[in-house]
């Protein structure tokens, strides 16, 4: 059977090790084929293999090689640290500044007034933080994290043990509230209020979600994001009004 156009295109996009060397040598004259094989042995790149055992590199493989070589040449980082950088990138984080000890986290999408936009409710990212990373980046203690989990404010992703962007935002916000005397147990009221709002939103869009029409389901998902953003705006404004009148 003849290969499809997509398969043919994918095959053409793969490079052998000599072609990779030709791409990298103008920027890294000292790179050699044994060097590339060594970096593969260390697990920093994982090129495909043909049935005959020949390596086939994608453009992503070349980008990873370029990153490794750059970190070695310009910053003298050991391969173990570079591997941690690449692992962070694979998990949706940004690699840390060279003088930092933890990765940095992409900015959360906010509306111009500082309130979450509908797009932020619809946002999905691949951020995965370990427990240690969450504690470090959010600047909380292990005990505070345990309490936040105890009161249902933070939960790891099912089946992974990792934490996502939302868990990080909750942890950092809880830490900032702690400066004003709020303890995790005080934050249960926020969780209860949020659960009530979620229940109300789901009640409104449930008939559309049950529809067999794919377009209706898509509109329901959009409506959830828009209603969520509006409810947060209303909630924040009502709190602001209440505090001004108190």
pLDDT digits (tens, 9 = 90+) for 40-87: 999 999 999 999 889 999 999 999 999 999 998 888 888 888 999 999
Quickly count: other Cβ atoms within 10 Å of residue 140's Cβ: 20
Whole-angstrom distance, CA of residue 147 vs CA of residue 207: 37
Query: Which of 87, 55, 70, 56 lies closest to 24 in space, CA to CA?
Result: 70
Tokens of 109: 């999408």
- Tell me how many domains the chain contains: 2
Given a cut of 70, whether residue 101 has pLDDT beyond it is no
* Coil vs helix vs strand at 183: coil
**More reliable by pLDDT, 36 or 201:** 36
Q: Give the model's pLDDT for residue 3.
A: 42
pLDDT tens profile 167-200: 999 999 999 999 899 999 999 999 998 899 888 8
Containing 150, the helix (H) or strand (E) segment is helix 142-150
Q: Determine the structural domain holding residue 37 and report its residue range.
A: 10-90
pLDDT average, residue stretch 106-119? 71
Looking at the structure, tell me whether residues 74 and 180 fall in a common domain. Answer: no
Q: What is the predicted pLDDT for the residue at 8?
A: 44
- What does the block give as tokens for 136? 């470090």
Record the pTM. Answer: 0.62
Question: Is residue 69 in a domain?
Answer: yes
Q: What phi, psi does 48 have (nearest 5°)?
A: -70, 160
Shared-domain flag, residues 34 and 136: no
Residue 1: pLDDT band with limits 50, 70, 90: very low
Q: Are 29 and 44 in contact (CB under 8 A)?
A: no
- Of 71, 90, 109, the one marking the end of a domain is 90
In this structure, the answer to whether residues 227 and 130 fall within a common structural domain is: yes
Residue 109 is assigned to a structural domain of this protein:
no
pLDDT digits (tens, 9 = 90+) for 131-142: 999 999 999 999
Which region, left, alpha or beta, applies to residue 45 given φ > 0 means left and ψ of -120 to 50 means alpha? beta
CATH number at residue 58: 1.10.1660.10
pLDDT of 124: 67
Percent of the chain with pLDDT over 70: 87
Same domain, 82 and 148: no
- Specify whether 55 is located in the same domain as 127: no
In degrees and rounded to multiples of 5, residue 170 shows phi and psi of: -60, -45
93 secondary structure, DSSP code: P
Q: Does residue 208 surpass a pLDDT of 80? A: no
Return the pLDDT at 108.
Answer: 64
CA gap 109, 121 in Å, rounded: 9
């Amino acid at each position: 059977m003849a290969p499809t156009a997509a398969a043919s295109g994918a095959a053409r996009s793969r490079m052998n090790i000599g072609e990779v060397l030709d791409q990298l040598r103008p920027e890294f004259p000292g790179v050699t084929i044994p060097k590339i094989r060594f970096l593969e042995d260390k697990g920093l790149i994982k090129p495909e293999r043909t049935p005959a055992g020949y390596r086939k590199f994608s453009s992503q493989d070349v980008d990873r090689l370029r990153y490794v070589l750059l970190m070695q040449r310009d910053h003298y980082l050991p391969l173990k640290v570079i591997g941690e950088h690449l692992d962070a990138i694979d998990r949706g984080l940004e690699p840390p500044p060279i003088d930092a000890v933890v990765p940095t986290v992409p900015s959360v999408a906010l509306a111009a007034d500082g309130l979450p936009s509908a797009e932020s409710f619809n946002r999905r990212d691949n951020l995965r933080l370990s427990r240690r990373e969450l504690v470090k980046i959010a600047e909380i203690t292990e005990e505070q994290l345990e309490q936040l989990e105890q009161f249902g404010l933070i939960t790891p992703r099912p089946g992974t043990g990792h934490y996502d962007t939302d868990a990080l935002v909750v942890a950092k916000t809880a830490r900032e509230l702690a400066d004003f005397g709020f303890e995790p147990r005080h934050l249960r009221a926020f969780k209860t209020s949020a659960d009530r709002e979620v229940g109300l939103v789901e009640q409104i869009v449930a008939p559309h979600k049950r529809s067999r029409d794919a377009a209706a389901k898509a509109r329901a998902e959009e409506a959830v994001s828009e209603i969520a953003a509006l409810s947060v705006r209303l909630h924040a404004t009502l709190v602001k009004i209440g505090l001004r009148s108190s």
